[in-house]
Amino acid sequence: MEFEIRTLKPGPEPKITGPKVFGVRPGHPVLFAVSATGEKPLSFAAEGLPPGLTLDAQAGRFSGTLSERGEYPITLSTKNACGESKRSFKFVVGDRIALTPPLGWNSWNCFAEDVDEAKIRAAATAMAESGLADHGWSTINIDDCWQVRHPDPGRDAEGNILTNDKFPDMKALAEFIHSLGLKAGIYSSPGPLTCAGFAGSYGYEERDAARYAEWGYDYLKYDWCSYTEIAKDKSLAEYKKPYEVMRAALDKVDRDIVYSLCQYGRADVWEWGGGVGGNCWRTTGDIVDTWESMSTIGFSQNGKERHAGPGHWNDPDMMVVGQVGWGPSLHPTRLTPDEQYTHITLWSLLAAPLLIGCDMTRLDDFTVSLLTNDEVLDINQDPLGRQARRMSADGDMEVWMKELEDRSQAIGLFNRGSSPAEVAAEFKGRRMVRDVWRQQNLGPFDDGYKTAVAPHGAELIRVSNPE
């Protein structure tokens, strides 16, 4: 199978990457690391840094707190032996966090119940050492199976959640992840049991939220599962209730914890997930590494775009590129290379949380290239926070468009069919067109752009006004 690597490798010159805005609640610890490519070592600086924050010039990591609500624009810079790079950046202190979609990794799609602390540490190390962290990837999420399994109580005499033998010290694990400049995520269920039959949070929400904060976790995936046994009926109020309870518990801790609702799109969660304080919410069932699964999930997101924006994102589930397997036996994704380009292109346009689901210690060059194209990631992380919508559909050909902060548009041209086809995007007047994956300008075009697209493939362009 031919693997076309479209992404250009970074040069030795420094370049700041990653999000351009970061949200934090007043008085809560700031945990943000500047990401940058270029020949090491790099040094970092920030002009206009507000009182209360400091920046580690070698590691590029901010620390401290901001107590006053408002926006704090600064200028980031990074230097190495080859030059200097600058970028405008903004801290926003208020009620919203996750102002851009989360960029990270989750353990489930590769390890499932076979997860343990050593695998989490290895994944975090790989994110840092593979270079993915240099492109803004920042969160390591532990999914199910870190707790004690039913029928054991799963809690001590005071009601504190216990860990199983595979996770002897959750606080030390979070500290290790943080030492790499990354964030740590954890998992629970609003029911008495998790999906895999481990202890859930039902009846212990405040105690669990306090425990996660004490351990130093920054992200919570809250998975519906056994709450079905608790819910009195299928009313909207019953679907909302467990997420409101945990939201209230999280609001009592002095740490920002990104709140990810996982209840598989029940009761049109995209219409109310933000209202119960969710930062993102699953809109579908679980994804697997087939064209049918990925394409059905991805292309079904049209119409949900009006419910997404900074601090609240539609989540079409984790990505299935690289080595996946849901347990001890892994295999290369069954998606073809063109299908993988469709996968990453569509998820980026959808402003979806980008959560890698593969074994991070077994990344090949093609998978790395999919995950380290800064222009593609910039579309996903655009501060305007718009989700793409479908502009046209003609048989198997679809065109999706995402509006960007600089008034340009990112446009995906998709061929869902099994034969090569030309796909056309229409626009008014003369526009400059850039091939985002290949990172090259294609020139000015009048009233539209048309290109050949491979079967199950995608092309991604950025369209802007001529200078």
80 and 215 fall within a common domain? no
Q: Taking residues 25-46, report their average pLDDT.
A: 98
pLDDT tens sequence across 288-327: 999 999 999 999 999 999 999 999 999 999 999 999 999 9
pTM: 0.97
In this prediction, residue 467 has a pLDDT band, given cuts at 50, 70 and 90, of: confident
133 and 191 fall within a common domain? yes
- Give the residue from 326, 350, 380 where a domain finishes: 380
Q: Which two tokens stand for residue 66?
A: 């901001």
Percentage, residues of the chain above pLDDT 90 = 98
362 and 404 fall within a common domain? no
CATH of residue 435's domain is: 2.60.40.1180
Q: Which two tokens stand for residue 256?
A: 């920002």
SS3 label, residue 103:
strand
pLDDT tens sequence across 217-242: 999 999 999 999 999 999 999 999 99
The reported pLDDT for the residue numbered 96 is 97
- Residues 315 and 313: their CA atoms lie apart, in Å, by 6
302 and 435 fall within a common domain? no
Does the pLDDT at position 1 exceed 90?
Answer: no
pLDDT tens sequence across 386-411: 999 999 999 999 999 999 999 999 99
pLDDT tens sequence across 83-128: 999 999 999 999 999 999 999 999 999 999 999 999 999 999 999 9
**Catalytic entry in 143, 208, 223, 315:** 223
Angle (deg, nearest 10), helices 205-215 and 236-250: 40
142 and 251 fall within a common domain? yes
Q: Taking residues 2-18, report their average pLDDT.
A: 94
223 is catalytic: yes
Q: Taking residues 172-189, report their average pLDDT.
A: 98
In this prediction, residue 450 has a pLDDT band, given cuts at 50, 70 and 90, of: very high
Q: Residue 444 belongs to what domain range? A: 389-464
In degrees rounded to 5, what are phi and psi of residue 389?
-130, 155
286 is catalytic: yes
24 and 173 fall within a common domain? no
269 and 313 fall within a common domain? yes
Q: What dihedral angle (degrees, nearest 10) is formed by the CA atoms of 305, 19, 138, 314?
A: -10
Does the pLDDT at position 266 exceed 90?
Answer: yes
Does the pLDDT at position 2 exceed 90?
Answer: no
Nearest alpha carbon to residue 180 among 212, 132, 227, 215: 132
CATH of residue 40's domain is: 2.60.40.10
Q: What dihedral angle (degrees, nearest 10) is formed by the CA atoms of 115, 315, 300, 434?
A: -110
Domain contains 2: no
In this prediction, residue 150 has a pLDDT band, given cuts at 50, 70 and 90, of: confident
- Give the residue from 93, 114, 139 where a domain finishes: 93
Per the structure, the count of domains in the chain is 3
